[in-house]
Amino acid sequence: MENAPSGDGTGGGGGAPVSLILTGQLGDVMKESAQAAMSYVRTRAERLGIPADFFEKSDVHVHVPAGGIPKDGPSGGVTIAASLASLLSGRPVRSDVAMTGEITLRGKVLPVGGIKEKVLAARRAGIKTIILPRRNERDLEDIQPEVRKELEMIFVDTVDEVIANALRDADSVPPPPVEPATASRTERTVLN
């Protein structure tokens, strides 16, 4: 995910609003999730500390490279929203948290399928904190009690709760060193 000034500095259309460019292996559902996430982050711009003129001067490009796992289904909305909020606010996403859930344009978090598999995959990856839709809480009954005790589950109803639990404060992480070869180029933020 990347934000950069548009070629003409006007957001791609002489003062037009920010353009969300989606490329790569995204199915229709994931494209809709990304658009809903961008709309929601735009409504929270002031609260997130996003510069007032950002949406008039920059584009956001989300690229999902090809891989072995298809990327289409209603599970990525909270992750895309957290990534966009992180990118645009300068607050890094916590590296010790996993999340799943779909979102509405009003910022509600909707339940998703495959909770047991997603929780167990996060555990195998060493993640101990998992953000889940509150309406999926009952799905944890399928997971052994001893496994549930090892994990911190954060149940959320809104995207605001996701952002509050998933993002660090901007001051809590030192900025990365700037490499001399890139110091003179236009500043860009890239999330993989």
Please give the positions annotated as active site.
75, 118
Sequence letter at residue 162 = V
- Biggest CA-to-CA distance, the chain: 58
Q: Give whole-number Cα distances, 85 to 3, 14, 50, in Å.
A: 12, 25, 9
Residue 71 CA: distances (Å) to CA of 35, 76, 99 = 15, 9, 15
The candidate with the shortest Cα–Cα distance to 87, out of 161, 12, 1, is 1
Do residues 123 and 151 lie in contact, with contact meaning Cβ atoms separated by under 8 Å? yes
